Every structure is written in structure tokens, then in C-alpha cells.
Amino acid sequence: MSIVKRFYDDIAEREWKRLTHDAYHRLEFIVTMHFLERYLPPSGLVLDAGGGPGRYTIELAKKGYDVVLFDLSPKCLDVATRKIARAHVSDRVGRVIEGTIIDLTMFRDEEFDAVLCLGPFSHLIENRDREKAASEIVRVAKKGAPLFIGVIGLYGVFREVLQRLQYELTEPSHEELFTSGVHRWHIDRHKGVRGFPDALFWHPRDLRELFERNGVKTLEMATCEGLSCHLQGPTNRLYRDKEKWAKWVDLILETCTDPILLGMGEHFLYVGRK
């Protein structure tokens, strides 16, 4: 996990901007907030596990929720602390804690009215770590609490390879990606720089089964980029026409749970209830 920690320390400021970088990236935030607003209780204490620089923490605090922000990266938490103060929601964010979702022992059983975990499961390449993290996420949630788990999609990554990284199809160091969805950190011999850290790219079925094994009832699954997946140029151009953009967002939200689209997105969201 030290590689993952170092990676997010290095990009902490960029990670804060990622969900508002352009219209295409805003879709992940729009879709995720749509399901948070649908399934969150009217009030309560929310754990934002792996919340990074605090984008969702701040948004939920503004809506009146009490939030605990928890993340592996101290640099991301430094950014979050500044942004939380600037947004004037420090009174709603009671704790900002550094740690890993594999170990949530600092939290009591059934402490939270809802749990977000938008990203960390994409960096657990060992099965034992995934099982432990899922168990911990479920343990700290109250009975009946909604869980929101966001991950990077396997087939979306395959499409990214086709679009930008075709050499990876025959690169020996990437063979594990195409057989089991695991990407391991390595020095990119084509770019000569450090690439993406250790990661697991998910099939929707596997994420659903992981949480159902831990006693969670699946409510919905949605692809975050939906019909726009890998269509960044057209999506960003459409944003210039606000009327057309509003119509497109409506279509995204209407279709994002369609199983035909679910596995093809760059990111997808699992919503369950303990």
C-alpha cells in the first residue's frame, strides 16, 4: 500500500480537481451524487472512507450530514482540511483520520448511518485484503445503512487500452491485467515514468458478490460515465450548450443502471444496504 499512498500524496491537488476538471469528469460526480441523494438517510453520521481531498465530504457536510473523512494519503487529507475550512463546514466534519480500509478498528461496530468508499477497493489486489475491507466496511455501518462503493471497471480499462495504450496488449508485464484484472506498479518503458499504482479493475458481478457474501442487500449498480464513456471530446463540446447538456445528463441518469452499459464504464458504483 505504500506505493498507492505515495501516488496519491504526489497528486493530491490534482485529485481534488479531478471531478470538476471538465464536463466528462463531472459525470462521475453527478451520477454518484444522484444515488447518494436517493439512498442516504435524511440525516446522520457518514463515513467517507477513502475520501481523499474531501470532495464528497464537503458536499455532504453542506447538506447537513456529519462526516468522518478517512484516507490513506496524508497529503490528500492536508488538502481536505484546507478545503473543509474554506467551505465553512468544519463543524460538520468531526474527524479527519489517516488509515486504510483494511483496518477500521478505530471505529465502533454499527457507528455510521451510511458509508462511502469511492475508490479504495480498486487498489486492493490481494483477495484477503478485499475480504477484510468489505467485512470492516459492513461492520461499522448500522443495520439498514446504505453503502456506496465506487471502483474502476475492468472493461472500461480494456477500452482505454484500445484508445491510448495499445502496446499494453502484448506487453508481458500487463498479462495479469487481461487474465485477472490486476495491474501492478512498474516503470513504463515507453514513457520512462512511474505509472498507475497497484490496482484491481472490477467486473460488476465480482463487486456485487463480495458484498452480498458479507450480508449486504444489493440495491442498484450504475456506471458513472454511462453513455458518455470514452467519449470525452463530444461530451465536453456538448457542455457548451446548456440546454443540450441538461438533456444529456437526464439521459445519463435514466440509463446508467442498464446492465448493457454497466460493465463498460470507466467507473461504476455499487449501492447496497446492510
The whole-number pLDDT of residue 185 equals 83
Q: Is 227 in contact with 252 (CB distance < 8 Å)? A: yes
The three three-digit cell numbers of residue 242, written as one number: 446548456
Q: What are the residue boundaries of the structural domains of the chain, listed by start?
A: 2-152+203-273
Can you give the pTM of this predicted structure? 0.95
Distance of alpha carbon 271 from alpha carbon 274, whole angstroms: 10
Cα 29 to Cα 52: distance, rounded to the nearest angstrom:
14
Please tell me the predicted confidence (pLDDT) of residue 92.
98
Count the alpha carbons within 13 Å of 85 in the hemisphere toward its beta carbon: 6
CA distance 170 to 190: 13
How distant is the alpha carbon of residue 202 from its chain centre? Answer: 12
Residue 131: the pLDDT is 98
Q: What is the pLDDT of residues 75-86, one digit of tens each?
A: 999 999 999 999
Side chain identity at residue 140, one-letter code: V
pLDDT for the residue 78: 98
Q: Which segments in the chain show pLDDT lower than 50?
A: 192-193
C-alpha cell at 229: 464513456
Backbone phi and psi for residue 32, each to the nearest 5 degrees, phi listed first: -65, -45
pLDDT recorded at residue 189: 52
For residue 39, the model assigns a pLDDT of 98
Fold (topology level) of 2-152+203-273: Rossmann fold (3.40.50)
DSSP 178-197: HHHSEE---B-TTT-SB---
CB neighbour list of residue 195: distance below 8 Å, 6 or more residues apart: 185, 186, 187, 188
